[in-house]
């Protein structure tokens, strides 16, 4: 009987082993499919501005002398815009692939007021041009949060850029940052398999404390809003809500980058939105605790 049980157990184990292998292969197939889908999307997105640039340049080359000065100026402006679009696209694709390559980023105490101020300065002129009020309500003396300054600037920039893009003139875009009441740690929530250096910081937070403190950042607009059925998909690469007059500005990659960066910060982006009323994106960042930062300091360095 012992022999039979052992044989049965061994068989069970090997069945389990096969199940795990099948799962691994399925995941690999899914990843490969996602990769080729991504490459085919990129090729499509790159081809459009390239085609436009080539067409306008050829026309200028072949028939430039027959065109009026204004027409020539218009053609050159289009070539310029399409080149900008191409640059944005290439930059976004490079950013995304860097984020997905699993490279480690250095995490330090970030002064949110400074980062938000810097972002606001960049977008203030754009808001003014569009007749949109851009305001910030940041609680004074906010504690430092654990993060990568440049990546966070990118998140703020992408979200504020979108808010301005999808809000009509006369609207308002507001950025808020405030400290939340301490949250109890849900065991294991901060840990995952990825053994990067910043992970140690978040893990040590959960091991050494019963709670962690966070700052919430909200970016809200009084824009066109996002329908419930699109609210998940907008985070997918190249997804852009249909039936909208899209300016040349977008790449459809901005929110994928935001989601990815927030994952790196062990956080998630959330949104609430109502069509015709507006949208609020929000996420939380973990406050640097003196005790923890000294414990983790040597582990966080790049
Ligand atoms: P894009 O470069 O097109 O802005 P994103 O990934 O940043 O790409 O956004 C994906 C889509 O989500 C946008 O094309 C738009 O349809 C929708 N979207 C994003 N932010 C907003 C917003 N604040 N208000 C309304 N729609 C938005």
Strand partners, 109: 146
Residues in the chain: 302
Q: Are 109 and 146 in contact, with CB atoms under 8 Å apart?
A: yes
What mean pLDDT do residues 160-187 have? 88
- 283: pLDDT confidence band, cut at 50, 70 and 90? very high
Cα(287) to centroid(ligand 1), Å: 29
- Torsion, Cα 143 117 103 233, to 10 degrees, reads 100
ipTM, two decimals, is 0.97
In this structure, the strands spanning 145-147 and 133-138 are unpaired
Lowest mean pLDDT among 62-71, 157-166, 276-285, 286-295: 286-295
The pTM of the whole model exceeds 0.90: no
pLDDT at 149: 95
Give me the chain's average pLDDT, please: 82
Q: Is the pLDDT of residue 261 over 50?
A: yes
Lowest mean pLDDT among 59-63, 207-211, 266-270: 207-211
Q: Is the pLDDT of residue 274 over 70?
A: yes
Of ligand 1's atoms, which has the minimum distance to the CA of residue 253?
Answer: 6
Q: Which residues line ligand 1 (CB under 6 A)?
A: 158, 162-163, 166, 221, 223-224, 226, 234, 239-241, 244, 250-256, 279
Cα–chain center distance at 280: 15
99 token code pair: 């984020």
Q: At what angle do helices 2-63 and 69-100 cross, to 10 degrees?
A: 160
Which range of 102-106, 145-149, 231-235, 290-294 scores highest in mean pLDDT? It is 145-149
């Amino acid at each position: 009987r012992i022999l039979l049980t052992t044989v049965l157990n061994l068989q069970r184990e090997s069945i389990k082993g096969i199940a795990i292998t099948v799962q691994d292969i399925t995941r690999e197939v899914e990843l490969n499919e996602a990769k080729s889908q991504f490459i085919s999307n990129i090729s499509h997105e790159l081809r459009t501005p390239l085609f436009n640039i080539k067409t306008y340049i050829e026309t200028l080359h072949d028939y430039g002398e027959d065109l009026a000065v204004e027409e020539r100026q218009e053609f050159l402006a289009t070539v310029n815009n399409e080149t900008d679009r191409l640059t944005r696209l290439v930059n976004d694709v490079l950013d995304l692939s860097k984020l997905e390559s699993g490279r480690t980023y250095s995490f330090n105490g970030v002064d949110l007021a400074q980062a938000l101020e810097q972002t606001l300065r960049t977008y203030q002129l754009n808001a003014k041009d569009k007749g949109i009020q851009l305001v910030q309500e940041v609680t004074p003396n906010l504690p430092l949060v654990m993060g990568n300054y440049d990546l966070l600037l990118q998140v703020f920039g992408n979200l504020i850029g979108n808010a301005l893009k999808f809000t009509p003139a006369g609207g308002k875009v507001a950025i808020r940052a405030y400290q939340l009441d301490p949250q109890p740690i849900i065991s294991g929530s901060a840990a995952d398999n990825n053994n990067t250096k910043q992970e140690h910081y978040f893990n040590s937070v959960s091991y050494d404390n019963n709670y962690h403190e966070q700052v919430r950042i909200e970016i809200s607009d009084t824009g066109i809003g996002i329908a419930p059925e699109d609210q998940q998909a907008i985070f997918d690469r190249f997804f852009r809500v249909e039936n909208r007059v899209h300016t040349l500005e977008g790449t459809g990659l901005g929110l994928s980058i935001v989601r990815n960066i927030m994952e790196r910060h062990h956080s998630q982006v959330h949104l609430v939105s109502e069509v015709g009323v507006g949208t609020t994106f929000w996420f939380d960042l973990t406050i640097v605790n003196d005790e923890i930062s000294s414990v983790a300091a040597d582990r966080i360095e790049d």
